[in-house]
Amino acid sequence: MKKLILKISVAALVCITFQNGFAQSFKATASPDRIILTWSADPTTTQSVTWRTDSTVSEGFGQILVESSSPKLEKPESTEVKATASILKGKEYESANYHSLTFSGLKPDQLYTYRVGDGKNWSEWFQFKTAPASDKPFAFIYLGDAQNDIKSKWS
C-alpha cells in the first residue's frame, strides 16, 4: 500500500512540475499578429485596428484602400495612417508593443482592404465593409470558445 501511495505521489508531483512544460509559447515577433478590427466611433465612417509586435518595432502604420478587383494593392493607391504604440510588459523577459490606429473619413456601405505593419514587415491584406448610412437588415455569424463538455449545444 505504501508503494502505491508513493507511486501516486511521485506521478502527481511530476505532473504538477511539468504541466506547463509542453505549453506553446506565442512570443511576439517583428511581424504583426493578434490583429483585431473593431469600431471606436461611427461605424459608417471609421474602423479601428490593433495589433501586436515585439518591442523592437516602435512604429506602426496601416494602409487602406477601396476594394477593387485589381491585384495591385500597394502605394500610391493606398492611404497610410500612423499608429500609436504602447508597450505591454508580460513576464520579466517578455514585452511587446501594441499598436492601434483608426481609419477615418471612410464612406458608408463601402468595402475596404487594409493591412498593418512597420513599413518592412506587413500583415496580409484584410477586408471589411463599413456600416450603411441608413438602417437595413444584416446577417452575421457568431462563434465563441465552447470550452469542454457542452456537446449537446455545439454538436
3-state secondary structure of 5: helix
> Which class in CATH covers the domain with range 27-133?
mainly beta
Q: What is the b/e burial string over 3-42, where b = at least 16 CB atoms within 10 angstroms of the residue's CB?
A: eeeeeeeeeeeeeeeeeeeeeeeeebeebbeebeeebeee
Instruction: Note the pTM of the prediction, 2 decimals.
Output: 0.72
- DSSP bridge pairs for 89: 95
| Pairing outcome for strands 47-54 and 33-38 | antiparallel
Looking up cell 511530476 gives 14
Cis? peptide before 137, omega within 30° of 0: no
Phi, psi of 47 (to 5 degrees): -150, 140
pLDDT, one tens digit for every residue, the chain (155 residues) = 777 776 776 676 666 666 655 555 688 899 999 999 998 899 999 999 999 999 899 899 999 999 887 777 665 678 888 898 888 777 656 788 999 999 999 999 999 999 999 999 999 999 999 999 998 888 888 777 766 666 666 55
Nearest Cα neighbor of 30 from 52, 53, 49, 51 is 53
